[in-house]
Amino acid sequence: MSEESQADSILLTVGAGIQMGNTAICAYVVDAYPMQSMANMTFYAVMLNLSAFVDPFFIVPWLDTAGFTWTCAGHAIITVFFCIPVLAFVHRFGGALREKSGTPTWVNPEFEETHGAAV
pLDDT value for 119? 46
Residue whose C-alpha is closest to residue 103's, from 116, 89, 113, 87: 116
DSSP secondary structure, 31-62, as one string: HH-GGGHHHHHHHHHHHHHHHHHHHHHHHHHH
pLDDT tens, residue order, the chain (119 aa): 777 778 778 878 887 888 888 888 888 888 888 888 888 888 888 888 887 888 888 888 988 999 888 888 888 888 889 888 888 888 888 888 878 887 777 777 777 665 555 54
Give pTM, 2 decimals.
0.56
Say if residues 90 and 82 touch (Cβ distance below 8 Å): no
pLDDT value for 38? 83
Say if residues 59 and 68 touch (Cβ distance below 8 Å): no
DSSP conformation class of 1: -
Taking the domains of the chain in order of start, what are their residue ranges? 3-115
